[in-house]
Amino acid sequence: MVELNNVRHAFPTGDGIRHITFSISPGEFVFLVGPSGAGKSTVLRLIYMDLLPDEGHIVVSEFNSLFMKRRDIPQMRRKLGIVFQDFRLFPDRDVFENVAFVLKVVGRRTKEIKRRVLRAVADVGLSHKARKMPDELSGGEQQRVAIARAIVNEPYLLLADEPTGNLDPTTAAGIMDVLERINARGTSILMATHNVDMVNRYRGRKLHIMNGELV
Amino acid sequence: MANLAYILQESFDGFRRARISSLISTMTITFLLIIIGIFALVSTNVDHIVTALNARFDIQAFIDNTLDDSQITGLRQQLSQIEGIRQISFYSKEQAAREFQKEFGEDLFDILGENPLPSSFNVVLRQEYRTPDLIESVAKGISDLRGIDEVVYNNQALKILGKYAQMAKVINSAILIFVSFGSLLVISNTVRLIIIAKRSIITTMQLVGATRGFIQSPFIIEGLVQGSAGGILASVFLYLGSQILVIEVPGLIHTSLVIYIFVLSLGIFFGILGSLFAIKRFL
Q: Which residue has the higher pLDDT, A114 or B193?
A: A114
d(CA B14, CA B224): 13
d(CA A153, CA A100): 9
d(CA A91, CA A180): 27
CB B211 to CB A105 under 8 A?
Answer: yes
pLDDT tens column, A148-172:
999 999 998 999 999 999 899 999 9
User: What whole-number percentage of chain B has pLDDT above 90?
Assistant: 11
What residues contact residue B77 under an 8 Å CB cut-off, 6+ apart? none
Q: Above 70 in pLDDT, residue B252?
A: no
User: Strand, coil or helix: what is A26?
Assistant: coil
Report the chain A residue with the minimal C-alpha distance to residue B203.
A88
Rounded mean pLDDT, B136-149:
86
B218 close to B7: Cβ distance less than 8 angstroms: yes
CB A77 to CB B13 under 8 A?
Answer: no
CB A109 to CB B3 under 8 A?
Answer: no
| Cα maximum dimension of chain B | 105
Interface check A63 vs B, CB under 8 A? no
User: Strand, coil or helix: what is B19?
Assistant: helix
Alpha helices, DSSP H, located in chain A: 40-47, 73-77, 95-105, 110-123, 139-151, 169-184, 196-200
d(CA B51, CA B100): 29
What band does B1 get if pLDDT is binned at 50, 70 and 90?
Answer: very low
Mean pLDDT score of chain A = 93
Q: Above 90 in pLDDT, residue B87?
A: no
Q: What pLDDT is attached to residue B104?
A: 79
Interface check A61 vs B, CB under 8 A? no
DSSP bridge partners of A29? A189
Q: Above 50 in pLDDT, residue A126?
A: yes
CB B2 to CB A82 under 8 A?
Answer: no
pTM value surpassing 0.90: no
CA pseudo-torsion sign A135, A139, A141, A146: positive
Write down the domain spans for chain B.
2-52+160-282, 58-153
Residue type, B265: S
Residues from chain B that touch A91, judged by Cβ atoms under 8 A, are 201
Interface check A75 vs B, CB under 8 A? yes
Interface test with A, best of B12, B208, B211 (most A CBs within 10 A): B208
Q: Above 70 in pLDDT, residue A133?
A: yes
Q: What pLDDT is attached to residue A101?
A: 93
Q: What is the CA radius of gyration of chain B?
A: 31
Interface check B199 vs A, CB under 8 A? no
What residues contact residue B16 under an 8 Å CB cut-off, 6+ apart? none
Residues from chain A that touch B6, judged by Cβ atoms under 8 A, are 104
d(CA B85, CA A1): 94
Least trusted range by pLDDT, from A22-36, A177-191, B189-203: B189-203
Interface check A90 vs B, CB under 8 A? yes
What band does A210 get if pLDDT is binned at 50, 70 and 90?
Answer: very high
Candidates B153, B167, B274; CA nearest to B216 is B274
**Residue A138 CB neighbour total at 10 angstroms:** 11
Q: What pLDDT is attached to residue B55?
A: 66
The complex's ipTM works out to: 0.89
Interface check B204 vs A, CB under 8 A? yes
pLDDT tens column, A61-111:
999 999 999 889 999 999 999 999 999 999 989 999 999 999 998 889 989
d(CA B81, CA B78): 5
CB B207 to CB A82 under 8 A?
Answer: yes
Interface check B214 vs A, CB under 8 A? yes
DSSP bridge partners of A8? A55
Least trusted range by pLDDT, from A179-188, B45-54, B144-153, B225-234: B45-54
What residues contact residue B37 under an 8 Å CB cut-off, 6+ apart? B234, B235, B237, B238, B259, B262, B263
Interface test with B, best of A101, A135, A149 (most B CBs within 10 A): A101
Q: What pLDDT is attached to residue B249?
A: 67
Rounded mean pLDDT, A135-147:
95
Residue B206 Cα, gap to closest chain A Cα (Å): 7
CB B204 to CB A90 under 8 A?
Answer: yes
A40 close to A34: Cβ distance less than 8 angstroms: yes
What band does A20 get if pLDDT is binned at 50, 70 and 90?
Answer: very high
What band does B52 get if pLDDT is binned at 50, 70 and 90?
Answer: low
Q: Above 80 in pLDDT, residue B156?
A: no
Q: Does the domain made of B58-153 have the CATH classification 3.30.70.3040?
A: yes
Q: Which residue has the higher pLDDT, A10 or B69?
A: A10
pLDDT tens column, B100-134:
888 777 777 777 778 888 889 988 888 778 777 78
Q: What pLDDT is attached to residue B100?
A: 80
